[in-house]
Amino acid sequence: MNIFVVNSGSSSIKYQLFRMPSETPLCSGLVERIGLDNAAITHQTGTGEEEKVVKRTLSLPDHEAGLLAVTQLLASPEVGMIQDPQEIDVVGHRVVHGGEAFAATAFITPAVKAEIKKLFSLAPLHNPSNYLGIEVAERIFTNARQIAVFDTAFHQTMPEKAFRYAIPNAFYTEQRIRAYGFHGTSHKYVSEQAAQYLQKPEAKLITIHLGNGCSMAAVANGRSIDTSMGFGPLAGLVMGTRSGDIDPSIIFHLINQLGYSPEQVSTLLNKQSGMLGLTGHSDMRDISQEMNEGSHEAALAYDMYAYRIKKYIGAYAAVLNGLDAIVFTAGVGENDATVRADVCQDMDFLGIQLDIEKNQERSKRPREINTPGSRVKILLIPTNEELEIAQQCITLLEDSRAASSSEN
């Protein structure tokens, strides 16, 4: 079964093509810097000596242009793995916000699409891109079942004391205003990998997903019990363009005293803040370069970024009443040794001790980067949201077939 997984981010598309049940993708790729003239596609097929990598720089005004370019590569004579888009059996889509309407993976129908669209305001950087990816995929892969995997689903195990806000009850019972959490597909995957690595299914873990969007989760016995993002993906850590946690009084001040409209405040906090607001850059590679060149603003931004993560580690260690490991993952978490070093500095009281040399090593495999004497393991585990999505698609199809068989 050919499963094509589409993971549309705010300015990127990650994708993998699986021929299940094999967990090794036939090809994978990344479209970066969508919306810019120097957008880039990196498309990889094969492994080892037979690996082929195609890199292209081109102008991609939107996600539709990006996905169309990817489709051409999938069926190209040079690196293609299919001859026709109709060979795709399933397209699995990452959808950021499922609200309380979706606590599990779902077949995409007009009703499901309508619900996803209703949630645009709660995930303004992602749900519109996810929705567009679905619509484009429906036009291109007309023979495929379209399936949505929701980032919010993994966090549905949070206890009510963690997901409720201290506002009048009617806002939850009538409007469903609560913390939902995000990056659930990634947190689920790396927490399972960490528990397997530790050979401890009941492990107490803090998973730290650091990309353009950033979040953390407290995971015990394989279940999310708290997470840093909330009603929307704006809360929690300092991110590429999002502010993370902010005093709500600032919002009132912006509106009442400085004349901002609610739409302007939303744009400010979601698209113009975070590392972009502090440094003028949202890409950590650019910020790191400026810091190395002596920029005070870049150095301060790195300090603020790491400081917020450390605060959440302390909070979640308390919530978990113990800690077996912290897990770094996603683009920044996997590749930025400076961030990991800053986060783990002066954490001896919690038993977190980083091995400087191991932290500098590069590897795609799950590994420890703590000292031998560290009470808490520091794990670097590459996330694989695409594989997790493919596996959830298979599970949904199998459950659907089993239900049909029992009815007959």
Sequence ranges of the binding site for substrate: 94
Distance separating alpha carbons of residues 327 and 204, to the nearest angstrom = 11
Q: Burial-class residue 366 by CB neighbours within 10 Å (0-12, 13-18, 19+).
A: middle
Helix (H, G, I), strand (E, B) or coil at 56: strand
Query: What does the CA dihedral 364, 365, 368, 369 come to, rounded to 10 degrees?
Result: -10
Residue numbers belonging to the annotated binding site for Mg(2+): 7, 385
Annotated catalytic residue 151 = yes
E strands, 152-304, are: 204-210, 214-220, 223-227
Tell me which residue has tokens 């993370």: 244
Q: Which of 151, 324, 336, 342 is catalytic?
A: 151
Task: Report in angstroms the alpha-carbon separations of 188 from 10, 68, 107, 148, 205.
Answer: 21, 30, 20, 16, 11
Residue numbers belonging to the annotated binding site: 7, 14, 94, 209-213, 283-285, 331-335, 385
Q: Burial-class residue 218 by CB neighbours within 10 Å (0-12, 13-18, 19+).
A: buried
Identity of the residue numbered 110: P
Known catalytic residues are 151
